[in-house]
Amino acid sequence: MIVPYGPRGGVSINARALAPYYEKALGTRVIVENREGAGGITGYTVGAFAKPDGYTVTMISPAITASPWLVPNVRFTPDDYAYIGQVSFVPNMLVVNADSAFHTLKDLVEAMKAKPGEISTGLEASWPSSSVCEVLFLARSGCKAKIVPGFKGGAEKIASVLGGHLDFAVNNTQEVMALYQAKKIRVLAMAAAQRSAFFPDVPTFREHGYDVTTGVWRSIAVPKATPQPIQDKLAAALRQALANPTLQQDFTKVELTVDYLDPAATLAAVMAEYAEFDKLFTGLGMNVKHKV
């Protein structure tokens, strides 16, 4: 199971929570392999063009729907994958260091408007949903930040917040929870339609008047040429694994919920997001495929 990010990131945490149950349902060993590089693009490329025999699956996330529009010369698109099923959905969160002068999202917005381009944040090279969330927030709040590009993953980005190198960042629940509980960071807003049971005191962006609801879905996918009987076997095993009550308990321990979609629904959701991002990034003047 390819994970296109480092071992401390949310996708890796999700994959490792799933793997023992998927292994049991498949009746064969499942080895999680972190193939990080180019902010995730390396792993997604390897997964898309692996031998289509069912022995290599990839845990994918929204970077596959965003990066082809935002990063020059990306070799894959979502159409290079076949979809086995969605595993989970995790909202993004805007975080600052616990010692930050920003206690609310209003504080941060006011500071960015008072000092355009001086308050720093980071973007990941493969444009996962956290980076999309940051761009949407800045666009819809009318703010300009100092953008530090090229982060390899969420764990590296939040480490920069802890080290005082970034003023704020957007990360997902798995990357945030332990630090939040240890009071090392402060969470100012959540990109969800409603508050999370894991963070009941954290307001949503919508509560502040910004329509930002991006999150991290995670799904299992294989190269598109994988024979249908193999896809069907992988899909049946995934459905069985996610229905296991013990898996659901283990997911809860790492702030995950099971948000299963079958192969057809996963394909439809991914391709709809891919089309939506085409329009979004074109409108923002960021789409590398539509620049003159």
pLDDT-wise least confident of 112-116, 150-154, 163-167, 184-188:
150-154
How high is the pLDDT of residue 291? Answer: 63
Which residue has better confidence, 262 or 10?
262
Overall average pLDDT of the 203-208 stretch: 96
User: Domains in the chain, start-ordered, CATH in brackets?
Assistant: 2-89+216-283 (3.40.190.150), 90-208 (3.40.190.10)
3-class SS of residue 257: coil
Enter the pTM of the model: 0.81
Phi-psi bin for 235: left (phi > 0), alpha (psi -120 to 50), beta?
Answer: alpha
- Give yes or no for residue 108 having a pLDDT over 90: yes
Overall average pLDDT of the 51-74 stretch: 94
How high is the pLDDT of residue 292? Answer: 47
Overall average pLDDT of the 89-103 stretch: 94
- pLDDT tens, residue by residue, 110-131: 999 999 999 999 988 778 888 8
Rg (CA), the chain: 19
- Whole-angstrom Cα distance, residue 103 to residue 86? 35
Contact 264, 232 (CB under 8 A): no
User: Taken in order 100, 192, 240, 80, is the CA torsion positive or negative?
Assistant: negative
- Give yes or no for residue 195 having a pLDDT over 60: yes
- Give yes or no for residue 99 having a pLDDT over 90: yes
Question: Minimal CA–CA distance to 208: which of 91, 104, 114?
Answer: 104
Strand pairing class (81-97; 185-190): antiparallel
Question: Minimal CA–CA distance to 214: which of 137, 108, 119?
Answer: 137
Amino acid at 134: E
- Whole-angstrom Cα distance, residue 73 to residue 126? 12
Tokens of 10: 């949310």
The residues that bridge with 78 in the sheet, in sequence order, are none
How high is the pLDDT of residue 32? Answer: 97
User: Taken in order 81, 84, 87, 88, is the CA torsion positive or negative?
Assistant: positive
pLDDT band at residue 21, thresholds of 50, 70 and 90? very high
pLDDT band at residue 231, thresholds of 50, 70 and 90? very high
